[in-house]
Amino acid sequence: MADKKKRKRTKDEQEEDLPFKSILESDDVILQLLKSYISSSLTASAAGSSGASSSSSSKPLTLADLSLSSSCREVADLSLSSVQTEIETVIVQIARSILAGDGFSFSVPSRAASNQLYVPELDRIVLKDKSTLRPFASVSSVRKTTITTRILALIHQLCLRNIHVTKRDLFYTDVKLFQDQTQSDAVLDDVSCMLGCTRSSLNVIAAEKGVVVGRLIFSDNGDMIDCTKMGMGGKAIPPNIDRVGDMQSDAMFILLVEKDAAYIRLAEDRFYNRFPCIIVTAKGQPDVATRLFLRKMKMELKLPVLALVDSDPYGLKILSVYGCGSKNMSYDSANLTTPDIKWLGIRPSDLDKYKIPEQCRLPMTEQDIKTGKDMLEEDFVKKNPGWVEELNLMVKTKQKAEIQALSSFGFQYLSEVYLPLKLQQQDWL
């Protein structure tokens, strides 16, 4: 009996020895702090909206509202009949060009880095209105022109049949021509930009990748889904956002997680019951469906989004894709970006603050350091002094760490101490 008591005391002492556990308030206190924060944020947002314009309703700022020095291009959701009409218009123009003796070429919007523009007022990357010719009668572009024609023909078939296919299905319709799926995927984005429509308007979807769990109920193609009853694995995010609707939630925030491992830890610990939230992950690089789903939740539920990513340049890059958009799909940034995402962790300053052991920190490679320095030159990073400070610290110390480094204090340290303390202190950027 004495041995059992001794073991129990030892276990309790070990728990008390966990860094910062002793200053953690009760869940009720933390929840009250969160409620106060959300309430003040909503009040400030409402005040900002009412003071922004007396002549119009509080609609979000759009590219059309700004007077930019460069003309920019944006796409919109189009119906299948409209997409079909756009394709037919392009083909008729090409036929006329051939009959006039001017040859066969496509005018394709340039998605090069030099044709991208960060707009601070919108806090996202947009595509400038520069196009390049893709002629058939050129050795350097004949193959890509052929692929473009083939993709247009396949999209036209989808419009006529009113069906969806995956990007992989599209690739396998002509493997010898496409050779690699990255080539058909790239031209698919070109076609979307050419036609002036979102990629989802083409009825081409990516395979399911992202998952969501927690305090969210929504309809998926007419079926009501309760994400608290989907087990540890959660609900796969539907690849077609059009079939998602009727979102309902009693959550206090959305927790965006970079890694699948951290997501599983939080889902198994039912973190969303302790602190009402919705947990979502794309398991690494953000896919289109997860980005669309996150934006839809943010805009409809009006909840703050807190991001949990690795403390390395790529974690911050992933966070920036959700928030400001990717250069590859800047033409559709209006639909794919989620405004005002807060960087919760793991931040470079957390390594010392939370006493992450040296053996759990990784030395940054030369490529990591270069990526970090390149990010410091990005306008969307410069806009946030907190991000600049953290990135400078990362580059200076040449250290990085994954979310799993917190497991050195215990497998449940992430859900039991780190995140609750972050919420208690409202420690986000």
Residue 48 burial (C-beta neighbours within 10 Å; 0-12, 13-18, 19+): exposed
Residue 376 burial (C-beta neighbours within 10 Å; 0-12, 13-18, 19+): middle
Structure tokens at 290: 């997860």
| Residues whose CB is less than 8 angstroms from the CB of residue 185 and which lie 6 or more positions away in sequence, other chains included | 167, 171
DSSP string, 19-33: TTGGGPPPHHHHHHH
In 18-158, DSSP assigns E strands to: 72-73, 105-109, 116-119, 124-128, 131-135
Residues belonging to the chain: 429
Closest C-alpha among 185, 279, 300 to residue 237: 279
β-strand pairing of 105-109 with 235-236? unpaired
Structure tokens at 258: 């970079």
On the CB side of 11, CA atoms within 13 Å amount to 6
Amino acid in the structure at residue 154 = L
Residue with tokens 């599209």: 170
C-alpha 235: how far from chain center: 17
β-strand pairing of 72-73 with 116-119? unpaired
From residue 14, alpha-carbon distances to 11, 17, 289, 390, 411 in Å are 5, 5, 43, 31, 14
Helices marked H in 108-226 — which ranges? 142-161, 167-171, 175-178, 181-195
Which is the catalytic residue, given 172, 263, 354, 418? 172
Give the single-character DSSP code of 414. Answer: I
- Whether 263 is catalytic is no
Q: Please identify every residue annotated as catalytic.
A: 172
